[in-house]
């Protein structure tokens, strides 16, 4: 009887160990599934955020291209207006180069800064590379006979 009692006790201990091991493995499996679910959710959220950022980037790129095109157009119109009939100011060299040519041109930011400086020089008459046309110099001399023509 002693051996059957020990046998029952051993079987009972094995059952308890097996149940404990099964519970431990079940808890571990549940934790792995929770962790997998968490990271899958996080990955989906990041993919959604990336898609939103791509959309914003495309929008900014489109706006930048449109602004650059408008800036090129404005630059050309400004040069044309200042050089009408060769009687305006010679400003082509004072305006920054906005060309898209590789190796040529400036970044949009530096080009805008250069354009702002050129406009300020022109509007204040302090442009070192701005020269009056010969027609303007002759007119100035005729209207003010006692004055010398501007230095070049």
Return the domain boundaries, the chain.
42-142
- Distance CA(98)–CA(117), nearest Å, equals 14
- Distance CA(132)–CA(7), nearest Å, equals 117
Half-sphere exposure of 151 (CA within 13 A, CB side): 1
Give the chain's mean pLDDT.
75
Long-range CB contacts (< 8 A, 24+ apart) of 109-113?
A: 111/71, 112/71
Residue 123 or 46, more confident: 46
Long-range CB contacts (< 8 A, 24+ apart) of 71-76?
A: 71/98, 71/108, 71/111, 71/112, 71/115, 72/98, 75/115
Query: Which of the four pLDDT bands, split at 50, 70 and 90, describes residue 87?
Result: low
**pTM for the structure as a whole:** 0.40
- Distance CA(133)–CA(139), nearest Å, equals 10
- Longest C-alpha distance within the chain, in Å? 142
Query: What is residue 8's predicted lDDT score, i.e. its pLDDT?
Result: 86
* Interval 6-60: pLDDT, tens: 888 888 999 999 999 999 999 999 999 999 999 999 999 999 999 999 999 999 9
- Residues 6 or more apart whose Cβ sits within 8 Å of residue 98: 68, 71, 72, 75, 105, 106, 111, 115
């Amino acid at each position: 009887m002693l051996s059957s009692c020990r046998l029952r006790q051993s079987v009972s201990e094995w059952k308890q160990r097996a149940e404990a091991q099964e519970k431990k493995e079940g808890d571990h499996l549940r934790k792995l599934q929770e962790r997998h679910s968490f990271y899958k959710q996080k990955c989906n959220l990041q993919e959604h955020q990336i898609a939103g950022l791509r959309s914003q980037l495309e929008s900014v790129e489109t706006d930048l291209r449109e602004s650059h095109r408008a800036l090129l157009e404005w630059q050309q119109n400004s040069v044309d207006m200042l050089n009408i009939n060769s009687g305006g100011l010679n400003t082509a060299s004072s305006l920054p180069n906005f060309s898209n040519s590789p190796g040529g041109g400036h970044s949009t930011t530096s080009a805008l800064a250069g354009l702002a400086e050129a406009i300020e020089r022109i509007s204040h008459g302090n442009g070192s590379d701005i020269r009056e046309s010969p027609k303007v110099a002759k007119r100035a001399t005729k209207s003010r006979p006692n004055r010398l023509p501007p230095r070049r």
